[in-house]
Chain A
Amino acid sequence: MTKRLLLYSALIIFAVFFFYPFLWMVVTTFRPEADIGALSILPARVTLENYIAVFRKIPILRAFFNSLLVSVSVTAGVLAFCSMAGYALSRLKFRGRNAIFFLILFTMMLPFQITLIPQYLLMVKFHWVNTYLALIIPFTMSAFGIILFRQHFLTIPQDLIDAARIDGCSEMHILFRILWPLSVPTLVTVGILTFMTIWNDVLWPIIVIRNQDLMTMPQLVTLFAVGGRAEGLLGLKLASATLLALPIVVAYSFFQRYFIESMATSGLKS
């Protein structure tokens, strides 16, 4: 009993430790700029002026739409293309299959920063700079997604695929009508991780997007908060940061179970 009490006390302390800054941020966005120095959780005065100012100063709704469009498109692309590649690498027989797989594995070792400049040059050559294409196309294939799908498809009995083939399925039918319904946890895992990564990405959008109407939310908020347009007002910066975190918090509350499962499945820390 005492052991349990100690454990829970420790957990509560850690929870407060992690949660307090976030809660403080949210509460502070409702404080007038003059009260921001207070560390208490309950605001003395409540105001919406920080949010009104954010909406007035930057096209945050447009950025939200951009982020949603880009994240959803990339996630859909990753699920479709990575599962196709995973299927081919796990179930189709062709020369060099393993070599291709190891090459894909190798690309995971490369930090994004190494390919950043060549990738940017490619975007310039394609005339994709300042378009949604630059935000979407380069990320519709991911080594991580391919590997996860490949490993999962290897666990599905070959007989099931053979039965589908005899029933009259094409390879695409087998993938989307037989394997996909049996791969929901993997689809959710890859989907959530991809969506989160793309939603939170700042570096790449900053490089390829200059037109404010095409900016994603993290890009816009970052430029707003550190770029001087918030005029040094902490309340505005925190309000924009809260708006940025909001969709993820909402999504997390819906997909909490899958999210935890996906972390366990992928064995990755995000």
Chain B
Amino acid sequence: MLHAVDESVTPIHIHDMTVAYHKKPVLWDVDLAVPEGKLVGVVGPNGAGKSTMIKAIMDLVPKASGWVHIYGKPYSRMRQAIGYVPQRESVDWDFPINALDVVLMGRYGHVGWVRRPDKIDRELAEEALEKVGMTDFGHRQINQLSGGQQQRVFLARALAQDAQIYLMDEPFAGVDAATERAIIDILMDLRARKKTMLVVHHDLHTVSQYFDWLVLINMRIVAAGETKDVFTEDNLNKTYGGQLTVLSEAAQAVAHHQRGL
């Protein structure tokens, strides 16, 4: 049931969104309105479609149906409003580039085509590095950084984007405790500044400690709302009760059917 949503103050409003990879539906019919200024956790088992949902919001994967609005407008017009932290494995860490230049990439959206980032952009990038405690590593080649440091660089890059909304894909995956602490401090600080964050997360122990809002996913949205209301044993059972056999089979059937196999 759709509640009336005031779109202009809703950072992310997803309506009736189905996403398919190679014609196979992986995320069914998502309806979601994320409130402003919340630190939102996206939780679910492997293959549940967490990353897919984030990518679909940013048009990185095509939607089979439905739409996403960012503050009431389509994503293509609100690109600047969104900062993105992809999974660490998504890039080649052997690439010849240093940490500061990676962070500087966060400014590219503001700089626009062809023009070069100027001194102010550089200062903002250095500021972002400082916020994640990586000032001393700015001129390090990225493959000489530890996993936690690489993750901090990615976070700094998103900070340099200076966005209203941050989408983060497993920022805590494979980082040390100190980095996890540093990252969560930054997220809290962002929340204090009324930013909205959607964070894919897989450590159930820290969910209620970190997030004030929660989205439970397993091929569809199982529950979404204030963490204290949503983070219940019943909901977790529904989320982690394994992939729904019939749904998976139906998805496979749809894929075969549409490819004419």
A binds B: no
